[in-house]
């Protein structure tokens, strides 16, 4: 059953009325790149100057909903834009893709799949305000967790990817 998502496209595809990434507001959002399957836009609001979003043109919610050609373009653009950021903007760059179906969509949270590229540097506000808190949350992996996740994360083959 877990492989059904790969053999058939998700029914949750196409245009979704009211979705801010299906209907990008040109006043609020600057499109910096428009490609066959993907748009690159400046995140607004942003977590850091130059915060970029890569958004598939089709409304999908999970990476596994993407067709192979969409995946390939998304990853290629992710690498290219990250290199632009690292060579011309900041020494670091976060790549994030959040899938949180447990949160209702709102002004900040959008269900339409998108990947964040967040330019980072040692003295940025995100580092100063978040990293110190986040660092305190790291815990050592217990033997029980090691056993559990070693078993859980065994991939049986490409169809599990
Ligand atoms: Zn959408």
What separation in Å is there between the alpha carbon of 120 and the centre of ligand 1?
27
Contacts of residues 133-137 at CB distance under 8 Å and 24 or more positions apart, as own/partner, are none
Q: Which of 160, 158, 51 is nearest to 114 (CA)?
A: 51
- According to CATH, what is the number of the domain 4-122? 3.30.428.10
Give the pairing type, strands 52-56 and 31-34: unpaired
Report the alpha-carbon distance of residue 66 to residue 50 in Å, rounded.
26
Give the pairing type, strands 115-120 and 92-96: antiparallel
Dihedral-angle region of residue 18 (phi above 0 means left; psi in -120 to 50 means alpha; beta otherwise): left
Report the alpha-carbon distance of residue 106 to residue 103 in Å, rounded.
9
What separation in Å is there between the alpha carbon of 2 and the centre of ligand 1?
24
Q: How many other CB atoms sit within 10 Å of the CB of residue 108?
A: 7
Give the pairing type, strands 38-42 and 31-34: antiparallel
Q: Which residues, in sequence order, are CB contacts of 99 under 8 Å at separation 6+? A: 61, 62, 63
Query: Mean of the pLDDT values across residues 103-122?
Result: 89
Residue 15: its pLDDT value, please? 87
Q: What is the pTM of this model?
A: 0.85
The mean of the pLDDT values for the chain is: 88
- Return the top range by mean pLDDT from 2-11, 94-103, 141-150: 141-150
Answer whether 48's CB lies under 8 Å from 124's CB.
Answer: yes
What separation in Å is there between the alpha carbon of 139 and the centre of ligand 1?
36
What separation in Å is there between the alpha carbon of 13 and the centre of ligand 1?
8
What separation in Å is there between the alpha carbon of 130 and the centre of ligand 1?
29
What separation in Å is there between the alpha carbon of 31 and the centre of ligand 1?
15
**Residue ranges near ligand 1 (ion) with Cβ within 5 Å:** 16, 19, 21-22, 59, 112
Dihedral-angle region of residue 50 (phi above 0 means left; psi in -120 to 50 means alpha; beta otherwise): left
Backbone angles phi, psi at 40, to 5 degrees: -115, 125
What separation in Å is there between the alpha carbon of 18 and the centre of ligand 1?
8
What separation in Å is there between the alpha carbon of 12 and the centre of ligand 1?
10
Residue length of the chain: 161
Query: Mean of the pLDDT values across residues 101-105?
Result: 84
For 93, the 3-state DSSP assignment is strand
Q: For residue range 22-56, what is the model confidence (pLDDT) as tens digits?
A: 999 999 999 999 999 999 999 999 999 999 999 99
What separation in Å is there between the alpha carbon of 40 and the centre of ligand 1?
14
Among the residue ranges 9-13, 91-95, 137-141, the one predicted with the least confidence is 9-13
Query: pLDDT grade, residue 132 (50/70/90)?
Result: confident
What separation in Å is there between the alpha carbon of 148 and the centre of ligand 1?
36
What separation in Å is there between the alpha carbon of 15 and the centre of ligand 1?
6
């Amino acid at each position: 059953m877990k492989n059904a998502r790969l053999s058939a496209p998700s029914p949750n595809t196409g245009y979704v009325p009211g979705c801010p990434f299906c209907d990008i507001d040109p006043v609020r959002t600057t499109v910096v790149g428009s490609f066959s399957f993907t748009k690159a836009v400046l995140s607004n609001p942003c977590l850091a100057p130059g915060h970029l979003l890569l958004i598939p043109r089709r409304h999908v919610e999970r990476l596994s909903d993407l067709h192979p050609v969409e995946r390939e373009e998304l990853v290629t653009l992710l690498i290219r834009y990250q290199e632009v950021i690292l060579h011309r903007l900041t020494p670091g760059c976060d790549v994030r893709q959040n899938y949180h179906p447990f949160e209702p969509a709102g002004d900040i949270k959008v269900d339409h799949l998108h990947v964040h590229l967040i330019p980072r540097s040692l003295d940025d506000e995100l580092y100063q305000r978040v990293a110190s808190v986040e660092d305190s949350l790291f815990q050592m992996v217990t033997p029980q967790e090691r056993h559990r996740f070693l078993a859980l994360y065994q991939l049986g083959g490409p169809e599990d990817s």
